[in-house]
Chain A
């Protein structure tokens, strides 16, 4: 069975400071990992994905994440936060071990950005 743990329910940063959203995963198979973002009253937008290629993955809007197998982590970072980054972020694991691709979501981290 696969699972995801997002270590912080809320993260507060000031505009222009770095962002770190932490995620640990568990998977019986070689996982694919994703970060999705959800703005208020909106659907989910894919930020970036890891699918067993380069361990440092670059996504949209300046976000990136590093896959660390030894630590079973996939933390999301951004060098400089912008007000528009305020949203909820979900770390997601997917595998095809069950014969079909299903996504397992973490509980989410709310990113708050202050001026």
Chain B
């Protein structure tokens, strides 16, 4: 069984740029959720994808967008990067009606 993987591990971007983060879900899982974890905080829910459609969204602006592909992998895109976007971005996969979510190691984004 393959776990959740994320790429890249680390990323440094400049304010105003755009970034794409990638996630491969655990084998057999059809739902992907993205979370932002600022330094010293708990993760916050960004959005969830199921069957290639956004299935729910947290309190994040539209410049945070995503995609899910037929193989259930996913991308998180952030446009017009701001300094406050610096954080660890976590991807989690699950079954559609499953309570348990399994997390990847995260992508550390630094915006300068």
Least CB distance, B90 to chain A, in whole angstroms: 6
CB neighbours (8 Å) of A104 from chain B are 45
Report the stretch among B12-20, B73-81, B91-99 that lies at the interface: B91-99
Q: Is the interface of A mostly helix, strand, loop or mixed?
A: strand
Query: Could you tell me if A101 and B43 are in contact, using CB atoms closer than 8 angstroms?
Result: no
- Indicate whether B65 reaches chain A with its CB closer than 8 angstroms: no
Is B99 a contact partner of A102 (Cβ separation < 8 A)? no
Of A13-21, A42-50, A61-69, A70-78, the one with at least 4 CB within 8 A of chain B: A42-50
A interface residues with partner B (beta carbon < 8 Å): 32, 34, 36, 42-46, 49, 51, 90, 94, 96, 98-108
- Nearest 10 A/B pairs, CB to CB: A105-B42, A43-B105, A44-B103, A32-B99, A100-B56, A43-B103, A100-B55, A105-B43, A107-B42, A102-B45
